[in-house]
Amino acid sequence: MMQLAVTQLGIEIPYWGQSLLRVLGGLVAVLLPAGTIVYLFLFKMMSFMQSRLGPMEAGPYGSLQLVAEVGKWMQKEDLAPEAADKSIFKIAPLVVLLSTFLLVVVIPFGPDALFTDFEVGIFYGLAVASVSVLGILIAGWASANKYSLLGGLRAAGQLIAYELPMVLATIGVVIQAGSMNLQNIVVAQNTGEIFGWGGIGNPYIFTQFIGFLIFMIAVQAELTQAPFDMPIAESELVSGYMTEYSGFRFLIFFIAEFATAGVFALIASVLFLGGWGIPFDWFGWTTIDSVDNWMNIVGPLIMFTKMLVLTFIIMWVRFSFPRFREDQLQTFAWKVLIPLALANTALTAILKVVF
Amino acid sequence: MTNLSDRQQLSYIASQAADARLNVELETEGMTLNIGPQHPATHGTLRIIARLDGEQVIWAEPSAGYMHRGYEKLTEVRTFPQVTTLVNRIDWLGSFANEVPFILASEKLMEIEAPPRAQVIRTILFELSRIANVSLFLGDLGVQMGAITPVFLAFRDREYVLNLIEGATGGRFHPNFDRIGGLKDDLPKGWIEETRQTMVKLRKFCDIIEDLLFGNEIFQSRMRGIGIIPADVAKDYGLSGANLRASGVDYDLRRDQDIAMAWDKADWKVWTHPDGDSFARCWVRLQETRESCKIVEQLLDQIPAGPIMTKVPRIIKVPEGEAWVSTENPLGEMGYYVVSKGDLGPFRVKIRSASFNNISIVPWALKGVYVPDIITILASLYFILGDIDR
């Protein structure tokens, strides 16, 4: 975005201005998907699946419901349990949200619309994604509540277990693209060819279908959403690690949950669905530098559409499935997903060498 | 540990001793988890005191009574017709079924019998309240395991049944419609046709639930082989209803008892399941809902003409004597032991409610299971707090 402003429009922006723009861009990139997901899927789609209308009063078709809810949460008292470790208790939701913000930094939204062009982007992304485990764990511990503790420990066990298949599923893509840079992965998919035909590029969902499935399952688990919502398990652990939170700290947890869903969907669309790009063949582009400038506007929209499609699937599963038990969940990760992901990685590597 | 009996305290101490031995070996420390009285999984105010080792339960005890309303005592200061108003708040999801055994016991003491038309309508309403009750159970089953959609479908379809009950009796939840010697009113016009259409909807609801929940692999892995109750244990603890039949005991009071109701006029089947696990209990309830639809559909064709009320005195005085009548209610066997001294009201009423006996197996069934299984086992045992505490 910065390069765009400086090079194309010929405006000189001081460094503090660039930083401010980056922060604002990050806020938009995190909060806009989160709000859309909450309204479209949590409020409306879920309601239609359950034969009800959902919010209808605040704004046309309840579109301002989220604003009303945020207003409600902000008014509430910022409570901390007496026995809680207060400072850690208060910082935990921010740690979870922070991990989402750090994650969005490496995602490319267009040829020039990106925050950082990071060589080992996907490596960094997967690393900061696990920062949220820390937030959840300290939230569960600092609440001084038995349900929270159980929830926090379950979350830690689950997130660590599902981090592995996620990383292994990504390795297939990295091998195929030959790069860890997310921008390069996008370009590699859109300049790719299927048996010499570049009409739709070569989105890795075709070649890495197993990887895509494993990645989406792991995302579902990372987001602690049904059928992997054992850490929250509202019918047994009340709300798991979030039990003691109220007011805007609960709101931050809530936003972080859906923002992370959005950001993971963005990463999945970059890795498997071709990201912001359209097949370069269509307009005769060959490299990233030859891409027209209007892609900086269209690219984010394409990303946003793909994100909605993927989060729709995530939410659809969430609303329909009952949850696993903790041990079944671990068994599924260690005995099914990880061997499958390893086999997929090995196969990809062999095919890469052969062809 | 304030409201525990001596026996409970003893077993608690024993469990702590066992716990201590375990702790010496593994150097771990147990944790006491109070599930309830305010907890989303207990549908009200049941408290389960569970002693945990990690996520495994080593000792569990239900502590009931947080919602005790003293109905047995209250009946002593009511007249016989007034008692139905109280007792239909016991199992609040299938209210009409609560009134029937009490009225039958009173009729037994007075040596009268409701006319055939009233008997058939009573049976239809009885089965409708079973459908209303169990359909909510089937939806709630999903919510206990994190699937939030089935419960809304259940609420939607239960509403049709409640509309029928309201149409016939005037009360959605608390009909208070049964009278000694018959019924308060006759059926309204068009009710029979509407009931027939609703039964089609309810059968469809059963199919949806079977697809959405019972066919789901995760649901099955959570339910199958969990909380197994063998037939002899189930009998020892006095389980009844679907919980007993799911353990393979073929016992249904609707069929096994000669009673002044119309179940024998319909052709239906008592479902049992050999497994005795959580899945079996839920499955038996699903099948029973279908059977109930069948019973209602058949009885709708057989409503005889005639009065709905037999001749009873304006002021009902029940002759001296004692009577016990129990019926197969939605939750299990529910019975009333009515003692009359020839007054306007009963001298003493003992209520045998199904859920109270059904949760007595909780300490046995929860031993050694994991915390998530507590919820599925409790959900599959299916209790209603009003039915436990009365």
Judged by DSSP in three states, A58 sits in: coil
Q: Are B328 and B252 in contact (CB under 8 A)?
A: yes
Q: Is the pLDDT of residue A155 over 50?
A: yes
Q: Are B44 and B38 in contact (CB under 8 A)?
A: no
Which one, of A197, A242, A259, A325, lies nearest residue A29 by Cα?
A: A259
Q: Is the pLDDT of residue A93 over 80?
A: yes
Average pLDDT over residues B149-154: 87
A324 contacts in chain B (CB < 8 Å): 218, 221-222
Q: Are A161 and A333 in contact (CB under 8 A)?
A: yes
Q: Are strands B47-53 and B321-329 parallel, antiparallel or unpaired?
A: unpaired
pLDDT at B1: 44
pLDDT at A214: 92
pLDDT at A121: 85
Beta-carbon separation of A323 and B216 below 8 A: no
Beta-carbon separation of B146 and A146 below 8 A: no
Kindly list the distances between the CA atom of residue B99 and the CA atoms of A269, B121, B180, B383, in Å, as whole numbers in the listed order. Answer: 60, 14, 10, 18
pLDDT at B23: 58
**B18-25, long-range: CB within 8 Å, 24+ apart, which pairs?**
B18/B58, B18/B59, B19/B51, B19/B53, B19/B58, B19/B59, B22/B53, B22/B58
Kindly list the distances between the CA atom of residue B291 and the CA atoms of B284, B297, B328, in Å, as whole numbers in the listed order. Answer: 10, 10, 14
Per-chain mean pLDDT for chain B: 85
End-to-end alpha carbon distance in chain A: 37
End-to-end alpha carbon distance in chain B: 22
CA distance A230 to chain B (A): 8
Q: Is the pLDDT of residue B101 over 60?
A: yes
A319 contacts in chain B (CB < 8 Å): 147-149
- What is the layout of strands, in order, in the sheet containing B47-53? B31-35, B47-53, B56-63
> How deeply is A146 buried, as exposed, middle or buried, from its count of CB atoms within 10 A (0-12, 13-18, 19+)?
middle
Per-residue model confidence as pLDDT tens digits over A334-343: 898 899 999 9
pLDDT at A339: 92
ipTM for the predicted complex: 0.74
Q: How far is CA B17 from the centre of its chain?
A: 36
Model confidence band, residue B25 (pLDDT cutoffs 50, 70, 90) = low
Distance between CA atoms of residues A82 and A142, nearest Å: 11
Per-chain mean pLDDT for chain A: 83
Q: Is the pLDDT of residue B78 over 50?
A: yes
Per-residue model confidence as pLDDT tens digits over B274-291: 888 888 999 999 999 999
Judged by DSSP in three states, B125 sits in: helix
- Fold classification of B77-352 is Cytochrome-c3 Hydrogenase; chain B (1.10.645)
Percent of chain B past pLDDT 90, that is, above it, reads: 7
Q: Among A262-276, B14-28, B306-320, B370-384, whose mean pLDDT is lowest?
A: B14-28
Residue ranges of chain B that CATH labels 3.30.390:
1-66+359-390
pLDDT at A9: 57
Q: Is the pLDDT of residue A312 over 70?
A: yes
A49 contacts in chain B (CB < 8 Å): 149
> How deeply is B21 buried, as exposed, middle or buried, from its count of CB atoms within 10 A (0-12, 13-18, 19+)?
exposed
Residue B249 in contact with partner chain A when CB distance is under 8 A? no
Model confidence band, residue B337 (pLDDT cutoffs 50, 70, 90) = very high
pLDDT at A3: 53
Per-residue model confidence as pLDDT tens digits over A172-213: 888 888 888 888 888 888 887 777 776 777 788 888 888 899
Distance between CA atoms of residues A333 and A216, nearest Å: 13
Residue B350 in contact with partner chain A when CB distance is under 8 A? no
Q: Where are the domains of chain A?
A: 80-354
Q: At what angle do helices A146-177 and A209-222 cross, to 10 degrees?
A: 160
Average pLDDT over residues B107-112: 88
Distance between CA atoms of residues B297 and B280, nearest Å: 26
pLDDT at B42: 63
CA distance A170 to chain B (A): 27
Distance between CA atoms of residues B150 and B138, nearest Å: 8
Provide residues of A within 8 Å CB-CB of chain B. Answer: 46, 49-52, 146-147, 150, 226-227, 229-230, 233-238, 319-328
Q: Is the pLDDT of residue B20 over 70?
A: no
Residue ranges of chain B that CATH labels 1.10.645.10:
77-352
Identify the CATH assignment for B1-66+359-390 out of 3.30.1220, 2.60.40, 3.20.20, 3.30.390: 3.30.390
Q: At what angle do helices A247-272 and A295-320 cross, to 10 degrees?
A: 110
- What is the layout of strands, in order, in the sheet containing B332-340? B321-329, B332-340, B348-352
Cross-chain CB nearest to A323 (options B146, B213, B370): B146
Per-residue model confidence as pLDDT tens digits over B242-271: 888 888 888 888 888 888 888 888 888 888
pLDDT at A153: 84
Q: Among A20-24, A315-319, B4-8, whose mean pLDDT is lowest?
A: B4-8
Q: Is the pLDDT of residue A18 over 60?
A: yes
What is the interface size between A and B, counted as CB pairs within 8 Å?
Answer: 82
Of residues A56 and B12, the one with the higher pLDDT is: A56
Task: Pull the structure tokens for residue B92.
Answer: 């609040």
A230 contacts in chain B (CB < 8 Å): 372
Half-sphere exposure of A110 (CA within 13 A, CB side): 20
pLDDT at B315: 84
- DSSP string of B168-231? HHS-SS----EETTEESSPPPTTHHHHHHHHHHHHHHHHHHHIIIIIT-HHHHHHHTTSS---H
**Mutate which: A325, A327, A335, vs B, most B CBs within 10 A:** A325
Q: Among A141-155, B7-21, B342-356, whose mean pLDDT is lowest?
A: B7-21
Helix (H) or strand (E) segment spanning residue A170: helix A146-177
